[in-house]
Structure 1
Amino acid sequence: MSINLDAAEAGFDMSGRVAIVTGGGTGIGLYLATGLAKNGATVYIVGRRLEVLEKAAKSFRGSGSLIPFQMDVTNEESIKKGVQMLSEREGKVDILINNAGTNVPSSQPDHATKGLEYFKQGKLPYELETFEGWSDMFKLNTFAPFFVTTAFMDLLIEGASSCAAKKTSVVINISSVATTLKAAYPGNSLSYAFTKRALEQISTFMAADLAQRKIPVRIVALAPGIFPSEIFDQLEGSETFHTQAPPNYISPVPLLRWGKYVPIFSHPLSLSFCSIYSTCYAPRPEEIAMSANYLVANEYVNGIVLPVDGGFTLVNL
C-alpha cells in the first residue's frame, strides 16, 4: 500500500474554510485562531471585548484572516444575532472552536487570591464556593459550548456539503487536563474541573448522537495543560511552574517548560506545515494550534478528548 503525501499535505490547507473561535482574542483561543488562519482559513474571533478582538486581528499576518466578531456566548439573543450575521456573511461554518471559559467565577474576582491563601494556611477551600459562583462557571464553561454548537448546527451542516475536499465539519471543545487530576490547583474554583468534565461528556455524547443520525459534523475536544494565557499569567508564581511543581501538585511538566512556539522543522508534521508556509522559517504554529489543526484535517477522528500537556498528567495525581 502506498501513502499519498500530497493528499496529507493538502489536508492542512484550509483555504475557503470558515472558522469561529470563541474567546479568540487572547491566549489559547488566539493561538488556535492564528493556527487556522495561517493555513488559509477565514477565522471569526469571538468575544465580548471588541477592542481586544480588533487588536488581535490587526496584528495578524498570513494567508487567511482574523475577523473581530463581538458576541456573548452566555446570552441567547447575542448567539442568535451571531448566527444570523454569519449566515448572511458566509452562509456556512466549517470549524467551530468553543474556547471561551474561565477558572474563577466572574462574581468572585478575588477567588484565586483567597484560594491560594487558604492553601498556604492549610484551610479547606470549600467555604469559598458559592451557588452563584458555580452557576457562573457552568454557564460559561459548559452551557455556552452546547448552546453555541446547537445554534450554529445548520451552518456547520452546510459547511460539510460546501467543499468537495472534505465530508464533515468539526466542533472542537476546549476542556482541560484538570478533568483527569485528583488534586485541584488552589487558585481555581473547585467547580472548574467539573465544568470541563461535563463538557467532555457533552462532546462524546453529541459526537455519537450526530454520527448515528448521519449528520456530517464531528465533535472532539482538546484538553490543554499549562499554556500562557490571560488567566495563567495572573496566577501567583506562574513564572516558576515550568521548573517546579505548582501548588498542590507533585511535579512540574516533565519537559520543564509550558506550551510554547516550536520550529516547524522539528515537528513530525513538518512536511505538511512547510508545504503550506512555503518555508520552514515562516511564522511558526503553536503546539496547541498544531493539535487543533490535526483534529480539523483528520476526518477519521471523532468523539475523542486529546490531552496536550507535555506529560503533566503522567507525573501528577
Structure 2
Amino acid sequence: MDFGYEGKVAVITGSSKGIGRKTAEQMAGLGAKVMLVARGEEDLVKAKEEISHHGEVDYVQADVTEEGAADKIIGRTADRFGRIDVLINNAGGSFAKAFDQLEISDWEQDIDLKLMAAVKMSKAAMPYLKENGGAILNMTAVLGKTPPASSLPTTVSRAAGMAMTKAMSKDLGQYDIRVNTVCIGLIKSDQIMQKWKNEEPGLSWEEYAGLDKHNIPLGRIGDTEEAANVITFLCSDLASYVNGVAVNVDGGSGHAL
C-alpha cells in the first residue's frame, strides 16, 4: 500500500518524544524526509539518531512560542530539504485547573503554545504548501469537545484549535491543502508514565493502563503508535479526500462524535 510519502517533507513540532516522535519514525520509514522540532536539544539528538535508521531526518531546536521561531523552523526545513508537504502542529501539554485557580498568565501561555504556535507555523509554511498542495494536522484533545470541570485553560485552547482547523480546511482546500485534527484521549506518554509511578507503583503498566478509573470503553490507555497510525494516514495520499475532520483517538472515552 502506497501512502505517497516518498520524496515528501514533513515538519513535526513536539517530536522529540511521544506521539510526535513515533509519527516521525513512521513517516520516515514510508519515505518522507522529516524535520523534528522541540525545545530540548539532547532529546532531539537522540531522536534523530534513532529515527535515522528508518529514513532521512534532521532537527531544529526551537520553542514554538518564541518570536520568530516559526520562520526559523520553516526556513531551515526549506533550506535543508527544498520543500514542505506536511505540517503537524503537535507541540503542547495538558495544564488544567479550575477557573478560579488560574492566573491570566496561565491562559496566555496555554493559548500561545496550543493555538497561536499552530497559527504561526501554518502561516510560515503556507508559501511552500501552496506549491504542491499538502496537509496540516493540528493536534487537539477529545476533552475540547465536552470540557469537564477543572479542565481550563487546555480544553478552551483545544476547542479553539478544532474551530481553527475547520475554518482553515475551507479556506485552504482551493490550494489542495487539507487540514484536519486528531483529538487525543489518554495515550501513553512521559506524563502518564510518571502518574502511574506516583499513583500505583505496585502495578505493572498493563495493569495500570487497564484500570476502570480511566473510564475507557476499550479497557486500556492507548499506545503512541496507535495515535501515530491515525496521524500518518490522515496526512498521507490515502486520505486525499479527507478534509476538515476531527478524529477522536481515545478508545471511546469521549462523549462527542
Whether the TM-score (by the shorter chain) exceeds 0.5 is: yes
Work out whether residues 147 and 155 of structure 2, in 8 Å CA contact, stay in contact via their aligned partners in 1.
no
Q: Aligned pairs, how many?
A: 246
What is the distance in 2 between the residues matched to 1:219 and 1:13?
A: 17
Q: What is the aligned-residue RMSD (CA, Å)?
A: 2.0
| C-alpha deviation, 1:13, in angstroms | 4.3
Work out whether residues 20 and 228 of structure 2, in 8 Å CA contact, stay in contact via their aligned partners in 1.
no
What is the distance in 1 between the residues matched to 2:52 and 2:77?
A: 23
Does 2:74 align with 1:135? Answer: no
Alignment of 1:67-146 (within 5 A): 67-104=58-95, 125-146=98-119
| C-alpha deviation, 1:59, in angstroms | 1.9
Letter in 1 for 2:71: K
What is the distance in 1 between the residues matched to 2:59 and 2:73?
A: 12
What is the distance in 2 between the residues matched to 1:84 and 1:260?
A: 33
| C-alpha deviation, 1:209, in angstroms | 1.1
| C-alpha deviation, 1:312, in angstroms | 0.9
What is the distance in 2 between the residues matched to 1:182 and 1:153?
A: 31
Q: For 1:92, what is the secondary structure of its paired residue?
A: coil
The structure-2 alpha-carbon separation of the partners of 1:155 and 1:76, relative to structure 1 and needing over 3 Å to count, comes to farther
Task: Give the unaligned 5+ runs of structure 2.
Answer: none
| C-alpha deviation, 1:136, in angstroms | 0.5
What is the distance in 2 between the residues matched to 1:171 and 1:27?
A: 19
| C-alpha deviation, 1:230, in angstroms | 2.5
| C-alpha deviation, 1:61, in angstroms | 5.6
Candidates 19, 32, 43, aligned match of 2:23: 32
Task: Give the unaligned 5+ runs of structure 1.
Answer: 1-8, 105-111, 116-124, 161-167, 247-251, 262-285
Q: Which residue of 2 aligns with 1:179?
A: 144
What is the distance in 2 between the residues matched to 1:207 and 1:126?
A: 31
Q: Which residue of 2 aligns with 1:193?
A: 155
TM-score, normalised by the number of residues in structure 1: 0.72
Work out whether residues 71 and 121 of structure 2, in 8 Å CA contact, stay in contact via their aligned partners in 1.
no
TM-score, normalised by the number of residues in structure 2: 0.88
Work out whether residues 34 and 66 of structure 1, in 8 Å CA contact, stay in contact via their aligned partners in 2.
no
Alignment of 1:290-309 (within 5 A): 290-297=229-236, 298-309=239-250
Q: Which residue of 2 aligns with 1:120?
A: none
The structure-2 alpha-carbon separation of the partners of 1:24 and 1:289, relative to structure 1 and needing over 3 Å to count, comes to same
Instruction: Give per-residue Cα distances to partners, 1:39-69, cap 9 Å, x unaligned.
Output: 1211111011111111111122644233222
> Which stretch shifts more, 230-239 or 33-42?
230-239
Taking every aligned residue pair, what percent have the same amino acid on both sides? 30
Work out whether residues 48 and 71 of structure 1, in 8 Å CA contact, stay in contact via their aligned partners in 2.
yes
What is the distance in 2 between the residues matched to 1:182 and 1:169?
A: 31
- Looking at secondary structure, tell me which structure has more strand per residue: 2
What is the distance in 1 between the residues matched to 2:182 and 2:20?
A: 12
What is the distance in 2 between the residues matched to 1:196 and 1:258?
A: 20
Work out whether residues 103 and 192 of structure 1, in 8 Å CA contact, stay in contact via their aligned partners in 2.
yes
Instruction: Give per-residue Cα distances to partners, 1:8-67, cap 9 Å, x unaligned.
Output: x12x14121110110000111112211211212111110111111111111226442332
Does 2:182 align with 1:222? Answer: yes
| Higher Rg of the two aligned structures | 1
